[in-house]
Structure 1
Amino acid sequence: MPYTRRRRPRPARAAANAVRHTSSGKEGGAFTVDLSWESDTVRIAVIDQGGESSPVFQSLAAHFPDNDAESGRGLLLVGVLADDYGTYGDSHSRVVWAVFRQRPTAPTHIQCAS
């Protein structure tokens, strides 16, 4: 799947999560968004000041019972759309990262050799 409007990496959304869910959102808080790319791969990492709880990547099946919630889908979407993702760190500093690889588009026609 190529990068499309639905699948493209969204660093602004990741940054908003750092402010909302970690100590980075407190007065004087800070966070860093690291965006790197090489060839067909984009990597996003958000480094924040940690917090009381750890990020949780949920499966679609685990999320469906609460499908009326107005928030809480950020890491769910990362888990569905990213090719690889994870988190590491502790309550003082945490990194949430995701990798997106562009996939070749399907050919519009196929030629057969005779």
Structure 2
Amino acid sequence: MRDRQCVCGFDLKPLWGIKPEISKEALRAIPLETLNALYEKYGKSRLIEKLYDPLDDDNILFLCSQCRRIYMWQPVGDYQVLQCISQNHSKYDPDPFVSRSIS
């Protein structure tokens, strides 16, 4: 099985696998309405468990440690897909940390 990857090419990790200061900073990039919807759906204690418990196989948010995009499972038709939910980032944005040269 291949690891989940960000559009920038780096692997996505659940929040519990990232340094706490990095994950807290990245969580600030989630739109407030998305955070409120997660809070309404899971409640405070279950949401914290789903974000940070390494034993929970049902992680809902994943973070790219390179570009700090946050991905979340989203329903698309009959499927669940990981989509970028970070503000100021689209899953189609070019990676700002990779220099590209035109040849």
Task: Using structure 2 for the length normalisation, give the TM-score.
Answer: 0.28
Larger strand proportion, structure 1 or 2? 1
Structure with the higher fraction of residues in helix conformation: 2
